[in-house]
Amino acid sequence: MLRVLLLALAAALLPVPAPAEDAVGRLNLAGYRHREMCTATLVAPDIALTAAHCVTTPADGYLKRIGDMTFVAGWDGEHHAGAARIKSVTVHPKAYDNGRFDIAHDIALVTLDQLLEVAPLPVGIGVPPGPMTLMGYRRSVPHRLTITPLCYGDETGPLWRLRCRVEPGQSGGPVFLGEDRARRIVAVIAAVVEEEAIVVPVDSWLLTQLANLRD
């Protein structure tokens, strides 16, 4: 009986994963005569993962105005888990090849101007078919995080196509594989084709960038 009680106590003291909804947020881009939104996810207290086309102009690769960008974690229409302006942006070095946008590397990291008191989510490697879970802020429901579980798909060259409905606004949103403590981000939503998600899998560049943050 004592052994059982000790095991139960030890399990209770283990850290419980924070709800993913707290770390997933809206990346707002608002300026003179325009307003845009994407989805981003905290992967460090002051770093969020998103899609490269959310922070650059795909036609020419130029960075959008950083002063217009704000990240709001866990936004539910009334409350949020933390908010910050964007201090800098790091775009995947292969997102633009000789000035031409390459969706196969549609990944970027944004650095916030302050640390948020929200538990970041782990990033790792995974492969289709799934099941995977998609999260993002749809343009049709901009003030509620949409969570779509049980998504299956296939590799189509360097990209994955997942057979779950997505909308504009979910670009940059995380694709999760695994449950509870094994849950990790394995891809980023990049595009919508016939309401299905085209996603960019996590690669060595992203893993190296995040490993450098811990050094």
Let me know whether 106 and 146 are in one domain.
Answer: no
Q: Over 60: is that where the pLDDT of 1 sits?
A: no
Per-residue confidence band for 194, with pLDDT thresholds at 50, 70 and 90 = confident
CA distance 141 to 151: 20
Number of domains in the chain: 2
Let me know whether 108 and 136 are in one domain.
Answer: no
Is position 87 within any domain? yes
- Averaged confidence pLDDT in the chain: 86
pLDDT value of residue 187: 97
Mean pLDDT on 5-17: 34
Higher-scoring residue by pLDDT: 84, 62? 84
Is position 7 within any domain? no
Q: Using CB atoms within 10 A of its CB, is residue 52 exposed (0-12), middle (13-18) or buried (19+)?
A: buried
Q: Over 70: is that where the pLDDT of 18 sits?
A: no
Q: Residue 82, by phi and psi: left (phi above 0), alpha (psi -120 to 50) or beta?
A: left
Is position 190 within any domain? yes
pLDDT value of residue 190: 95
Determine the 3-state secondary structure of 11 from DSSP: helix
2: Cα within 13 Å, side-chain hemisphere:
0
Of 112, 140, 174, the residue that ends a domain is: 112
CA distance 6 to 14: 13
Q: Where are the beta strands (DSSP E) in 126-166?
A: 132-136, 146-151, 153-156, 159-165
Let me know whether 26 and 83 are in one domain.
Answer: yes
Residue with tokens 């997505």: 166
Let me know whether 52 and 108 are in one domain.
Answer: yes
Per-residue confidence band for 37, with pLDDT thresholds at 50, 70 and 90 = very high
